[in-house]
Amino acid sequence: MIAELEALAGFRADVREWCREHVPADWVARMTGASVDESLEFQRVWLAELREGGLAAPHWSSEWTGRDYSFEEEIVIAEEMARARAPRLDTFFVSLYHTYGLLMEAGTEAQRRRHLPAILDHGEIWCQGFSEPNAGSDLASLRTRAQRRGDVYVVNGQKVWSTYAMHARFCLLLARTDPAARKNRGISYFLLDMRTPGVEVRPIVDLGRRQEFCELFLVDVEIPVENRIGEENEGWRIANSTLSTERSTLLLMPAEQLRVAYWMLVDLARTTPGSGGRPAIEDVGVRRDLAGFHAEIANLRLLINRMLTQMIRAGGAGPESSIIKLYYSELLQRFTCYAAQLGGMKTQELAPLLGAAPYVSGVWEFDFLNSYTWTISAGTNEIQRNIISERVLGMPREPK
Amino acid sequence: MIHRTRTVDMDSEELRAAIRDVLDREATSERIRVVMDESKGHDAKLYALMAELGWTGLAIPEQYGGSGATLIELGVVLQELGRSLVSSSFEASVVLFGGALLLAGREDQRASFLPRIANGDLLASAALGGASGRCEVGSLALTVEPRGASLSLSGKLEYVPSADLSELVLVAARGPQGDTALVLVDPRHEAIEISPQPVFDPTRRFSRLVMHDHVVPRESMLGDFSNGEALRERLIELGAIALASDSMGGAGKVLESTIAFMKGREQFGRSIASFQALKHRCVDMMMRAEASAVSVEMALEAFSREAEEAPVAASEAKFYSCDSYVHVAKEGLQMHGGVGFTWEYDCHLYLKRALLNQALLGDSRWHRDRVADLVLGPATAL
Ligand SMILES: Cc1cc2nc3c(=O)[nH]c(=O)nc-3n(C[C@H](O)[C@H](O)[C@H](O)COP(=O)(O)OP(=O)(O)OC[C@H]3O[C@@H](n4cnc5c(N)ncnc54)[C@H](O)[C@@H]3O)c2cc1C
């Protein structure tokens, strides 16, 4: 445990009590196989519930939430939410993290006033329009064009993989404003109102047969100049600095969920027959594997603790966050795949899926397939490795 | 136009090319998706064509209307079906049910069923155990009790492949002495409750059969109590080799299509296939695919010769080829990036089929245990 958290026992007890009273005991059963509308409604209700309890956005400043939490308290809240198996606010992920981070760092006061209360009080959903069909790992080569005409920008192009764009009221958009400049120098950052004429959203069916991410087609879409964030052609720099500040605490909740999930795997090993029909947990090979996961999950939390302690004491995270993301995502993938395999035919049975589930829901094959969200989106693990080898290990770039 | 060349008298590679040619046209990704949604995991139109081309009768002796080839040729068909993610009752009807008759059927049983399997008219299945991935006798949840000239069956069978399409299912049941009987039942009989057991892999369909004191004549047995367990084990080996073949075909295809995708995909101004980090992983995938291929060939050959090493070869092929398929399909999905996460691309279908193959008829842990026992002797004897 992080030494600084020991003094917060009282606070922790309060949060735990709040969770006990408010996390709906039957939410997993109710939301399993729920329709899109039902899930959205549930997310809104849960957001409102958290807001009432002052827990919807512990990382936001009191100006918006009426309550300031210390960084240490934020950590405690994340730990307790995971422990209580509280639903994730995944529909509001971009709103609560990316939009907030962006507006606080690079937005104007007017933009903050317009958007932040709308997120918290009305559950406005945001999406992120960065990736394009030909600009994924090489995001800086994006081609969506924004041309200044008087006091608007006229935007044309196509975005892809934009999660929850079909429900979103606004989009964080990167578009090229100077095609003559070097790749990452000619990009600007915009807030796009999804109701603007010329915006078309087409959902893409994913491997779980859900419709979550979307294509965006932008034809002569007008964005008022005041919806540009920062200076023209500064978009790349802004996007990078606002993305990196978020990673630090975000992994805490998934890491804690993995600790809870570990015992679900142990249960699976208890109920699955192994050698000679004895429970798999008596199998020496399984025991060794479970011991391995126990250590790896503990190490994950220790790595996070080290980073958080560093942040509490010195402020600001180092490159650890990208190493932790890599470590977590691969552990998650291996862990869920292992469980899907351990259960034999039982875990092959199709089960109704659950929105807002923890990253490990216990429908193991579904959890495993979902783990690719972590290894592909927001910079694939291959790209993470390139970045870490170059920036942390100081190794030379690959020749062109 | 389909070339209606019959598949007799071809060598393995000609056979493979002929099958691939047909499946590339008849089992496209679009078609697979139609079949998975509209029919019960069985492409009847394709199956009729497969019968016409002689695939269903390939390993059935000529006297029963087949072409008398060996399991090795049948293995080629299975590999190609796996490669194209074909949904059909082929494994159940031809490999398991047909295989059981060839191994232990009485003459009257063979004569009445084999010609109908060969011409594609009879769909049948087999339930050999293996719920939760384990296959030992103790795992059978169906019991059989002899009663004069009849047998009474009670209990349940899980994950029976395409049982809902089948006229007959060969079921393995535990006898009063802890012995095993293999019995033919009619899954449509009113005393049998049949319900679907959908799995993550949408290309395959399974059912659960539940019966209570279902009485059938003793002649419905294949073999008898004295050789039932040995026969069940042989059939598990046969099924395992079929799954290993399917996996080998699937892994080969994933490797091929992943490389083709990467060659056509540019990022950072160059083809992503030129990144060493990815190239090396593709080579690793290839090594596993190649080793799977020889392992599967060895198992097919040993089984068809009834060689002493067949049990080890079958189990090794099962876990090696299925584990490799999972590995290759995981890597393939990751290397596709965002499109790998879509329903539209086939990456997830291969991954789901790979995981299912691994779990069916004894998971990798079970087959490893089996190999360890066969090769090293039981742990207690050491
Ligand atoms: C579930 C999900 C949700 C997403 N949500 C959003 C969203 O809301 N908004 C948004 O803008 N985007 C989103 N994305 C898109 C995501 O950011 C991209 O998929 C990702 O950046 C990869 O880009 P790509 O799909 O074009 O793959 P590619 O860049 O084509 O990569 C294909 C493969 O090549 C590898 N590769 C590429 N370059 C190199 C290299 N130099 N060295 C080694 N390997 C390399 C990759 O790692 C990958 O394995 C989402 C993606 C997923 C899967």
> Per-residue DSSP letters for B128-174?
---GGG--SGGG--EEEEEETTEEEEEEEEEEEETGGG-SEEEEEEE
A221-243 in b/e form (b: 16+ CB < 10 A) is bbbeeebbbbebbbbbbbbeebb
CB contact (8 A) between residue A277 and residue B334:
no
Q: Is B314 exposed, middle or buried (0-12, 13-18, 19+ CB in 10 A)?
A: buried
Tokens (6 digits) for A287:
């025991």
Options A246, A256, A320, A365, the catalytic residue: A246
Domains A126-232 and A247-392 share a fold: no
Residue B382 included in any domain: no
Residue A218 — φ and ψ, nearest 5°? -115, 115
CB contact (8 A) between residue B351 and residue A369:
yes
Q: Is A213 in the pocket of ligand 1 (CB under 6 A)?
A: yes
> Which class does domain A126-232 fall in?
mainly beta
Q: For residues A360 and A264, is the Cβ–Cβ distance under 8 A?
A: yes
* B138 lies in the same domain as B25: no
Q: Is A361 in the pocket of ligand 1 (CB under 6 A)?
A: no
* B63 lies in the same domain as B107: yes
Q: What is the pLDDT of residue A30?
A: 84
Q: Which of A394, A247, A260 shows the shortest CA–CA distance to A326? A: A247
Q: What is the pLDDT of residue A36?
A: 87
* B193 lies in the same domain as B260: no
Verify whether residue A246 is a known catalytic residue. Answer: yes
Residue B202 included in any domain: yes
Residue B86 DSSP symbol: -
Tokens (6 digits) for B51:
């019968």
d(CA B52, CA A282): 51
Q: A353 alpha carbon to ligand 1 midpoint, in Å?
A: 24
Q: What is the pLDDT of residue B4?
A: 47
- Any idea where the domains of chain A sit in the sequence? 2-88, 126-232, 247-392
Residue B3 included in any domain: no
Residue B210: in which H helix or E strand, if any?
strand B206-217
* B236 lies in the same domain as B370: yes
Residue B212 included in any domain: yes
Q: What is the pLDDT of residue B324?
A: 98
Q: What is the pLDDT of residue A399?
A: 77
Mutate to test the pocket of ligand 1, among A240, A376, A397 (most ligand atoms within 8 A of CB): A376
Which amino acid residue places its CA nearest to atom 9 of ligand 1? A162
* B83 lies in the same domain as B38: yes
* B235 lies in the same domain as B360: yes
pTM above threshold 0.90: yes
Q: Which of A196, A102, A190 shows the shortest CA–CA distance to A147? A: A190
CATH of the domain at B157: 2.40.110.10
Residue B380 included in any domain: no
Spans of chain B below 50 pLDDT: 1-4
* B362 lies in the same domain as B242: yes
Q: Is A161 in the pocket of ligand 1 (CB under 6 A)?
A: yes
* B276 lies in the same domain as B362: yes
CA distance B211 to chain A (A): 20
Q: Is B341 in the pocket of ligand 1 (CB under 6 A)?
A: yes
* A344 vs B134, B267, B275: nearest CB: B134
CB contact (8 A) between residue B337 and residue A204:
no
| Amino acid symbol at B194 | I
Of B222, B245, B280, the residue at which a domain comes to its end is B222
CB contact (8 A) between residue B348 and residue A400:
no
Of B222, B252, B279, the residue at which a domain comes to its end is B222
* B236 lies in the same domain as B331: yes
Spans of chain A below 70 pLDDT: 1, 244-248, 317, 354-358
Q: Say what the ipTM of the complex is.
A: 0.95
* B194 lies in the same domain as B156: yes
* B106 lies in the same domain as B132: no
Q: Which of A186, A185, A168, A163 shows the shortest CA–CA distance to A176? A: A186
Q: What is the pLDDT of residue B3?
A: 44
Q: A379 alpha carbon to ligand 1 midpoint, in Å?
A: 6
Domain that holds residue B72: 12-122
Mutate to test the pocket of ligand 1, among A377, A385, A386, A397 (most ligand atoms within 8 A of CB): A377
Q: To 10 degrees, what angle do helices B310-335 and A320-342 make? A: 140
Q: A383 alpha carbon to ligand 1 midpoint, in Å?
A: 9
Q: What is the pLDDT of residue A358?
A: 63
Tell me yes or no: is domain A247-392 CATH 3.30.428.10. Answer: no
Residue B224 DSSP symbol: -
CA distance B117 to chain A (A): 28
d(CA B246, CA A255): 37
Which is it for strands B142-147 and A199-205: parallel, antiparallel or unpaired? unpaired
User: For B110, what's the count of Cα atoms within 13 Å in the CB-facing half-sphere?
Assistant: 17
Interface-testing mutation among B318, B341, B366, with chain A (most A C-beta atoms within 10 A)? B341
* B333 lies in the same domain as B268: yes
Overall domain count for chain B: 3
Q: A42 alpha carbon to ligand 1 midpoint, in Å?
A: 30
